[in-house]
Amino acid sequence: MSKRYGCGGGLLAVGLALGLARAAAAADVPPDPLARDIFKQLIEINTTLSVGDTTAAATAMARRLREGGFSEADVQVVVGPNPRRGNVVARLHGSGAHRPMLIIGHLDVVEARREDWNTDPFVFTEKDGYFYGRGTQDMKDADAIAVAALIRMKQEAYVPDRDIILALTADEEGGINNGVDWLLRNRRDLVDAEFAINPDAGGVDSDAGRALTFNLEATEKLYADYRLTATNPGGHSSLPKPDNAIYHVADALGRLERSPFPSEINPVTRAWLEYMAGVEAGPRARDIRAVLRTPPDAAAIARLSQDARYNSTLRTTCVATRLEAGHANNALPQRATANVNCRILPGHSPEEVRQDLIRIFHDPRVAVAWIDPATDQPQDVAPSTKALTPPPPRPDLMRALKEVAGTLWPGVPIVPVMETGASDSIYTMVAGIPSYGFSGTAIDRDDVRAHGQDERLRVRSFDEGAVFYYRFLKALTGPPR
Ligand SMILES: [Zn+2]
CA of 49 to the centre of ligand 1 (A): 14
CA of 109 to the centre of ligand 1 (A): 8
User: By three-state DSSP, how is residue 165 classified?
Assistant: strand
Q: What is the pLDDT of residues 459-478, one digit of tens each?
A: 999 999 999 999 999 999 99
Report d(CA 226, CA 99) in Å as an integer: 38
Dump the DSSP string for 287-322.
HHHHHHSSS--HHHHHHHTTSHHHHHHHS-EEEEEE
Residue 185 pLDDT exceeds 90: yes
> Tell me, what's the pLDDT at 5?
41
CA of 200 to the centre of ligand 1 (A): 5
> Tell me, what's the pLDDT at 18?
38
> Tell me, what's the pLDDT at 3?
47
CA of 4 to the centre of ligand 1 (A): 9
CA of 327 to the centre of ligand 1 (A): 40
Peptide bond just before 160 cis, omega within 30 deg: no
Any bridge partners for residue 230, and if so which?
336
CA of 263 to the centre of ligand 1 (A): 29
Which residues, in sequence order, are CB contacts of 150 under 8 Å at separation 6+?
65, 68, 70, 90, 92, 164, 166
Q: Which amino acid is at 99?
A: R
CA of 179 to the centre of ligand 1 (A): 13
> Tell me, what's the pLDDT at 25?
47
Q: How far is CA 474 from the centre of its chain?
A: 24
How many other CB atoms are found less than 10 A from the CB of residue 28? 8
CA of 54 to the centre of ligand 1 (A): 14
Distances (CA, A) of 107 to 188, 351, 452: 19, 31, 17
Report d(CA 466, CA 444) in Å as an integer: 17
Q: Which amino acid is at 228?
A: L
Q: How far is CA 389 from the centre of its chain?
A: 16
CA of 135 to the centre of ligand 1 (A): 8
Q: Which amino acid is at 40?
A: K
CA dihedral 105, 346, 288, 253 (to 10 degrees): 110
CA of 147 to the centre of ligand 1 (A): 17
Q: What is the pLDDT of residues 326-344, one digit of tens each?
A: 999 999 999 999 999 999 9
Contacts of range 75-83, beta carbons closer than 8 Å, 24 or more positions apart:
76/190, 78/179, 78/183, 78/187, 78/190, 79/55, 80/170, 80/177, 80/179, 80/182, 80/186, 81/177, 82/170, 82/177, 83/55
**Rounded percentage of the chain residues whose pLDDT exceeds 70:** 94
Residue 232 pLDDT exceeds 60: yes
Report d(CA 115, CA 102) in Å as an integer: 38
CA of 33 to the centre of ligand 1 (A): 24
CA of 173 to the centre of ligand 1 (A): 7
Taking alpha carbons only, the member of 226, 251, 202 closest to residue 316 is 226
CA of 62 to the centre of ligand 1 (A): 21
200 within 8 A of 146, measured Cβ to Cβ:
no
Sort strands 435-437 and 443-444 into parallel, antiparallel or unpaired.
unpaired
Sort strands 331-332 and 367-372 into parallel, antiparallel or unpaired.
unpaired
Taking alpha carbons only, the member of 394, 338, 396, 393 closest to residue 363 is 338
Residue 93, judged by CB atoms within 10 A of its CB (0-12, 13-18, 19+), counts as: middle
CA of 245 to the centre of ligand 1 (A): 40
Q: Which letter does DSSP use for residue 434 in this model? A: -
Report d(CA 188, CA 172) in Å as an integer: 18
User: By three-state DSSP, how is residue 151 classified?
Assistant: helix
CA of 448 to the centre of ligand 1 (A): 12
Residue 1 pLDDT exceeds 60: no
Q: Which amino acid is at 277?
A: A
Distances (CA, A) of 247 to 110, 228, 251, 252, 362: 39, 12, 6, 8, 14
- How much is the mean pLDDT over the chain? 91
Q: What is the pLDDT of residues 286-314, one digit of tens each?
A: 999 999 999 999 999 999 999 998 999 99
CA of 423 to the centre of ligand 1 (A): 7
CA of 386 to the centre of ligand 1 (A): 22
CA of 295 to the centre of ligand 1 (A): 37
Q: What is the pLDDT of residues 69-92, one digit of tens each?
A: 999 999 999 999 999 999 999 999
CA of 112 to the centre of ligand 1 (A): 14
CA of 138 to the centre of ligand 1 (A): 5
Query: Can you give the pTM of this predicted structure?
Result: 0.84
Report d(CA 279, CA 134) in Å as an integer: 34
> Tell me, what's the pLDDT at 6?
35
Rounded average pLDDT over 407-413: 94
CA of 429 to the centre of ligand 1 (A): 17
Question: Predicted confidence band at 374 (pLDDT cuts at 50, 70, 90)?
Answer: confident
